[in-house]
Structure formats: C-alpha cells, structure tokens
Amino acid sequence: MIKKTGKILAVDDNTDILFALKLLLKQHFEEVVTEENPERIPKLIEEGNFDVILLDMNFTKDAISGNEGFFWLEKILEIDPSAIVIFITAYGEVENAVKAIKQGALDFVNKPWQNEKLVATISSAIKLRESRLEVDDLRQKQSGYKAMLEKPFGDFIGISPGMQKVFSTIKKVAQTDASILILGENGTGKELVARSLHKHSSRQDEVFISVDLGAITETLFESELFGHVKGAYTDAKGERAGRFEIATGGTLFLDEIGNLSIPLQSKLLTVLERREVIRLGSNKPRPIDIRLICATNMPIKQMISEDRFREDLLYRINTVEISIPPLRERIEDIPLLANHFLKLYAKKYKKNIKEISSPTYKKLEQYLWPGNVRELQHAIERAVIMSDTSTLQPSDFHLANESTKVEEVELENYNLDEVEKMIILKVMKKHRGNISTAAKELGLTRTSLYRRMEKHDL
C-alpha cells in the first residue's frame, strides 16, 4: 500500500464545496483541512505547515470582483513566501484567476472541477512545494556558510608562526588549480584548510564536495566516487553520478587518503591521470574538471618506504604540501582559540560567561591536547554548559590524564597497556609533542609510534 502524503488546506465559504473537496481529496492525500472563514487562514498556516492551499476567490455573498481572493493571497505569501496557492474559481472569474497567477498563485481550477484533473494539479503542486523548500533550505545553508566564512579563514585562526605559514601558503596557492596535500593530526583542522583553499579560489562559486575515504568500504569505493549505472550491482536500482562527477567545476576534498588500500590507490590514480571516470557497470568515459585537495593524518612518506602507499599517486596529489602543526606546538594560539569558542558557545547556550581566568589559561596551555583543536573546542563547550559563574575556572575543565604520572602506574598498576600509554604520554610531554624526537627516545619508528598513539586514542 502506497503511503499518502501531502497536507491540504481548502478555504471556501460554501460548505457543500468544502464537503465535496474533503470527500475527494482524503482518498489521495495525507490530511485535508477545510475552513469557511478566511480570517482563520493566518492561524491555520502557522499551525499546519500545509503543502497546498485551495482558496476561493470570493467570500462575501454576491461578490464577483475576486478582490478578497487577492487580499488573502497576499497575506498567505507574507506568512509563507514558499506557499503554494491554487484558486477555486467559478465560471466567469477566469480573467481574475489569470491575474492572480501573476500575483503569486500557482494555478486555478474551475467549479465544477474534474476530479482526476484536480488531484493531478494538487499532486504536481506538492512536488513543487517540496522543491521550493529544498531550495530555501539550500539558500539558508549557503547563507550560514557565508556568515561562518566572513573572517579570512572562518574558525581557522591562529597567531603562531606555524599557523601564519599555513595562512601564507593558502593565499599563494588558492587561486591555482594545483593539487594540495594537507598533513596533520586528527583535530588540527584539515577540512578547514581545504574549505579555505576553495573559498579563495576561482572555483569558489562552484561546489565543494568532501569525501571521508576512511568511512567508505572497498566494495562501495567505485560506486561512491565514480558512480554506477542501473543494474551494476544488486542494489543499483537507478543510474547515479559519483563524487568526481558531482564535483566537476568545483573542488573535491578526499580526506584520510592514507587509508586507501593499494588496489584502490591504483583506481584513483587512473582517474587522476586520465581526468575522466567510468561509472561502475558502464564502459563510457565521462570527463571531469576538479580541483583536488587531499588530507591524511598518517605518515604517508614513511608508508611509501613500507610499500603501503604508491609513490606515483603521491606525486599526483601533492603539487603543494601544507602541514598543520598540532596544538601542543602552537601554545600561543590556545588563548585565542579558547576565547573564540567561549563566545561561540556562550551565545549558543545563552550563558552569561564573559571570560576565562588566568589560572585556567595556564592549565589549558600546560595540557598536551592529543585531540588538538577539536578537543579544545569540546572542552570549552562542556565547560560553558556546566559552569554557573561568569568566568571559566580551572575546576570547570576535566582533562584526560592531566594528573596521571608514570611513576604511579609503575607502583600501583602493572597492566602493560596502561604502562605503555603512560610512558608515551610522559615522553610526548617531555618533547612537547615532537613525534620524531619522542619516537627516537622510545626506540620506535615514527610509524610505530603513530600506531601506538592511535591504539591508545592519544
């Protein structure tokens, strides 16, 4: 059984007309509301969220001018500019109905109506309503993105030398179509860099498509990125464009590219070399025109020496390389970021929190921040939610492992995983997050240290 959809409001001073409409339309649509008094239209619209409004042109006895219909059409569109209004007209009012369409109505139906034609007209109107709402939603999102990016780099801020170098590189390469590889730990803001590059590029008015390669299974890789035709596999019930085609004209951001297996790397390389895709189940090549930006938190050059990443693919994706320093290597940015997030969440949660105390800044600056800026953001959000004062204090922050010492583990807990975790934390803190130096002291390669940090969620 097909589920009925669509909410209809019918407004007419003739109760017989309303009864006939409800009797017919309730067979085809989810809900039909009828109303004799047009004065109740504003309240009904605000409460009902109707897909289509059927509106009589005249409500006063013997009125034939249609002015009442025009009046209520204007009121409806003031309340909901996306409203779909269809006039119900008597014979001789067609001229007025055509005039009403010019003023914002969608269509008109004559009394007496043909049942099939009326149902078909309303069904088409519902589809138009859905399209209008989708467009409105898209416009709101675009407006929101624009507001977020009013600053040169949106939420991507910093005064440290490392970040200034990142900003400088973005300005230099954004206007080119050079392929960019962004390197950085989890939570450092790799996607923000990618969006900044897009925003300042010649493709800024086109789409920005982000793909998390770490979340796509091997079996769905080709379908998601290159598209498929109907019947290409069991669930391929229709033809679908992949992310490369959708991004044509704009920017394609491939996050976590280090997670791709060697076979998938080969398929990606072929597409980048030929600048065309072939949908799964087809043999027809389709040209693509994208600006490619990739990112990874993995030691990709080390992976090449271990035969886990193709060197020729690396050459394709990193014409320019941008490395984002971890938060522990740009301590001077912590107060700036903390204040930024404080204002953001104080406004969001309507909290009267104005500042962060000096001891709190000191505590935040001494913490290692294994989750980088993302962890700082979440810590500030939690502190804002839980705090009852106008100033954030050290007690408002409960940071993971902030007081744990390796000596305590050695004396009280001999679990090998815990010991390993605490030793890594201690050595990382000692070398202020320098992976190479810490790995050397621990007798590990950078790759091995990365694996252990990932294992312990550091």
Confirm whether 430 is domain-assigned: yes
**Bond into 42 cis (ω within 30):** no
Averaged over 22-34, what is the pLDDT? 92
| 204 and 316 both lie in a single domain | yes
At 270-282, the pLDDT tens digits run 999 999 999 988 8
Q: Which residue has the tokens 């080390």?
A: 302
Strand stretches in 57-165, DSSP E: 85-89, 107-110
At 294-337, the pLDDT tens digits run 999 999 989 999 999 999 999 999 999 999 999 999 999 999 99
Q: Is the pLDDT of residue 416 over 60?
A: yes
At 184-235, the pLDDT tens digits run 998 999 999 999 999 999 999 999 999 999 888 888 898 999 998 888 777 7
Instruction: Supply the CATH number for residue 434's domain.
Output: 1.10.10.60
DSSP string, 230-291: TTSSTT--S-EE-HHHHTTTSEEEEE-GGG--HHHHHHHHHHHHHTEEE-BT---EEE---E
Report yes or no: 56 and 69 within 8 Å, Cβ to Cβ.
yes
| 192 and 298 both lie in a single domain | yes
CA distances from 456 to 425, 432, 450 (A): 10, 18, 10
Task: Find the domain containing 295 and state its range.
Answer: 159-323
Among residues 375, 396, 417, which one ends one of the domains? 396
Strand stretches in 324-427, DSSP E: 355-356, 391-392
Confirm whether 144 is domain-assigned: no
Compute, in degrees rounded to 10, the torsion defined by CA atoms 198, 199, 201, 202: 110
Confirm whether 146 is domain-assigned: no
Q: Which residue has the tokens 């914002």?
A: 104
Interatomic CA distance for residues 24 and 342, integer angstroms: 56
Among residues 323, 356, 375, which one ends one of the domains? 323
| 252 and 317 both lie in a single domain | yes
Q: Give the pLDDT band of residue 243 (cuts 50, 70, 90).
A: very high
Q: Identify the CA nearest to 436 among candidates 331, 320, 329.
A: 329
Q: Give the pLDDT band of residue 375 (cuts 50, 70, 90).
A: very high
Helix axes 372-386, 334-348, angle to 10 degrees: 40
| 319 and 343 both lie in a single domain | no
| 364 and 341 both lie in a single domain | yes
The DSSP code for 370 is T
Q: Identify the CA nearest to 152 among candidates 119, 188, 183, 196.
A: 196
| 177 and 279 both lie in a single domain | yes
Confirm whether 165 is domain-assigned: yes
Confirm whether 331 is domain-assigned: yes
Q: Is the pLDDT of residue 150 over 60?
A: no
Residue 405, pLDDT score: 37
Q: Identify the CA nearest to 447 among candidates 323, 332, 312, 296.
A: 296
Confirm whether 370 is domain-assigned: yes
| 209 and 253 both lie in a single domain | yes
Q: Which residue has the tokens 């969440």?
A: 345
| 412 and 371 both lie in a single domain | no
| 169 and 312 both lie in a single domain | yes
Instruction: Supply the CATH number for residue 48's domain.
Output: 3.40.50.2300
Please give the structure tokens belonging to residue 359: 């001891």
Q: Give the pLDDT band of residue 109 (cuts 50, 70, 90).
A: confident
Interatomic CA distance for residues 240 and 227, integer angstroms: 5
Confirm whether 348 is domain-assigned: yes
Q: Which residue has the tokens 């000596």?
A: 407
Residue 56, pLDDT score: 87
Residue 381, pLDDT score: 95
| 302 and 424 both lie in a single domain | no
Query: How many structural domains compose the chain?
Result: 4
Q: φ, ψ for residue 287 (rounded to 5)?
A: -70, 145
Q: Is the pLDDT of residue 35 over 80?
A: yes
Residue 160, pLDDT score: 92
Instruction: Supply the CATH number for residue 391's domain.
Output: 1.10.8.60
Instruction: Supply the CATH number for residue 214's domain.
Output: 3.40.50.300
Among residues 292, 323, 354, which one ends one of the domains? 323
| 382 and 422 both lie in a single domain | no
Confirm whether 147 is domain-assigned: no
| 125 and 230 both lie in a single domain | no
Q: What is the CA radius of gyration of the chain?
A: 30
Residue 316, pLDDT score: 95
Interatomic CA distance for residues 35 and 163, integer angstroms: 62
Q: Identify the CA nearest to 293 among candidates 153, 196, 393, 407.
A: 196
What's the mean pLDDT when you consider all of the chain? 85
